[in-house]
């Protein structure tokens, strides 16, 4: 272990990226300021040890198996398969597209006429 003496407002530099500065001395308590890149975690020892303990516990803790996704989705898998099957069909010809558009216009016109009749009554 390297031991250094620092006075108030003096610093040490670690690896050219971390600066530890003595900010305040109150009796036997020393306040340190630490500048470090965001990707370097900085913790008090007791916090670091608790994080390590919790991580180990999480790795060894037994958990119940997750429910099967197919049951949770309630038919979503079947719907996705049906859509995939539709995508495999060959594209409609120009004649089929025009016929579909024509049928949609007739349906729309019929719905409008039905609605006008209901309003008239």
What pLDDT was estimated at residue 30? 94
pLDDT digits (tens, 9 = 90+) for 7-29: 999 999 999 999 999 999 999 99
For residues 39, 45, 50, 52, the Cα torsion angle rounded to the nearest 10 degrees is 50
13, 19 Cβ separation under 8 angstroms? yes
Confidence at residue 94, expressed as pLDDT on a 0 to 100 scale:
73
pLDDT of res. 70: 52
Per-domain residue ranges for the chain?
8-88
Please tell me the predicted confidence (pLDDT) of residue 72: 57
Mean pLDDT of each 10-residue bin along the chain, 121 residues long: 94 96 94 94 93 86 66 66 71 73 83 80 66
Q: Tell me the three state secondary structure of residue 2.
A: coil
Contact 17, 40 (CB under 8 A): yes
Tokens 């069909």 locate to 89
Q: Report the distance separating Cα 108 and Cα 5, nearest Å.
A: 87
């Amino acid at each position: 272990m390297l031991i250094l003496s620092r006075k108030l407002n003096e610093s040490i530099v670690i690896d050219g990226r971390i600066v530890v500065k003595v900010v305040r001395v109150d009796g036997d308590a020393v306040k340190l300021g630490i500048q470090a890149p965001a990707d370097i975690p900085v913790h008090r020892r007791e916090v670091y040890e608790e994080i390590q303990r919790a991580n180990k516990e999480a790795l060894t803790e037994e958990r119940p198996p997750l429910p099967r996704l197919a049951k949770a989705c309630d038919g979503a898998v079947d719907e996705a398969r049906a859509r995939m099957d539709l995508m495999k069909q060959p594209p409609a010809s120009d004649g089929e597209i025009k016929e579909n558009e024509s049928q949609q216009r007739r349906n729309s016109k019929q719905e409008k006429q039905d609605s006008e009749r209901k309003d008239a009554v």
